[in-house]
Structures are given as structure tokens and as C-alpha cells.
A = this chain, B = another copy of it.
Amino acid sequence: MSSCKSEDKRCALLQAALELFAAQGFDGTATTQIAKQAGVASGTLFFHFKSKEELIHELYREVRGRIEVELREPVGASISLRERLLHSLEKLLLFLLNNPREFKFIEQYYFSPFSEREVFRIEENNIIHHLLIQAREQQIVKEAPLMVLEALVFGPITALAKDHANRGAVIDEEIRRLTIQSCWDGIKR
């Protein structure tokens, strides 16, 4: 925090890793390449991170933190639960569309053997999770297991993000609106 030089290099390494991992995958990206892209020597990576695996976990934590911040609701907004939920879903979708590298990295992390050690889901511990529970309690959405409700809202959103990140599909305002609205139609009572 105080000394900037050191934090800068660490940051540059995480940034470079994110870009390369998204483009080439974890195993397709050598640590030397990450260092090169970050503009540091190959050994520096291992000063800041114990191993390549630790770098990946650390990067995951960092990205996940950014998503949580992104979804954080403005205080004092007293609109309806339904509105708040739809708004959060829209924000999540927008974030994933605007940050395809982050999305690709996270999907990769989720399917990698790492994720079995360090538990993960975009879904957990975020506002949408809690909004769904509340909405179910208040009987404005179906009385279904949380797993089902989450699949019904996160599934379509990640499907669109996948189309965009991996195939360059253009997802305009209209498509986003239609999808989010239909997610609601799927879960509402």
C-alpha cells in the first residue's frame, strides 16, 4: 500500500495473468509468459506468489471481490423486491458482458481441479442469492429449492455471457431486457 513499486508489479502480474488465462487457458500459459507480459523478470512472480496455483487462487479472489462490489446495491433504495432482483440480474449480466476476460477466467476456474479445493460459485454469497431467499419467503417466487431458482436465473445469464465471450455474439439492450424478464417469468409465482 505504502511502497508502490512492489504492489504495482504484483498488480501487473495479476492483470497479465487474467489476460493470458482468458486467451490461452491456465495450462496454455507459462509463468515466464505472464512475467514477460507484466514487464517483470520470471522470478518475480514467485516472490509475490508461492506458486502458479496460488497466483490463480489469488486472481480468483480478486476478480470475485470486484464482482461483489459491482453488485453491491445502493443504500436506501426502497423499490420492490422484484425490482431489486431484476436490477441485480441486469447488473450481473452487464458486468459479465463488459468483462469477458473475467468471465472466461471464472468459468475456467470453476471447471478446473482447483475449484474442488477452493469452493466457488458466482452465485454464492452475493446479493442475488439473498434476494432469491427473501422472495421465496415472501411467496412472490415459486416454492422451489434454491438450487432450482439459481439455475433458472444464473443459467440463462451465463449462457448469454458464454455466447458473447466465446463466440463474439452481440447482446444488445433488447436481448438483455427480454432475457431478464423471461428469467423472472420462469421463477415468479
Residues in B neighbouring A152, C-beta threshold 8 A: 156, 179, 182-183, 186
Q: List 8 A-B contacts (CB under 8 A).
A: A25-B112, A104-B111, A107-B111, A110-B162, A116-B166, A151-B160, A158-B159, A182-B187
> A residues near B, CB below 8 A?
24-28, 104, 107-108, 110-113, 115-116, 142, 144-145, 147-148, 150-152, 154-160, 162-163, 166, 169, 171, 175, 178-179, 182-183, 185-188
Beta-carbon nearest neighbor of A164 in chain B: B147
Complex Cα gap A4–B116 (Å): 39
Residues in B neighbouring A157, C-beta threshold 8 A: 151, 155
- Which 8 interchain pairs have the tightest Cβ spacing? A155-B155, A27-B27, A186-B186, A155-B159, A155-B156, A151-B159, A151-B156, A182-B186
**Identical chains in the assembly:** 2
Knowing that A150-B159, A151-B156 touch, tell me 16 more A-B residue pairs with CB under 8 angstroms: A25-B111, A25-B113, A26-B27, A28-B113, A107-B111, A111-B111, A111-B166, A142-B178, A142-B182, A147-B169, A151-B157, A152-B179, A155-B155, A155-B159, A156-B156, A183-B186
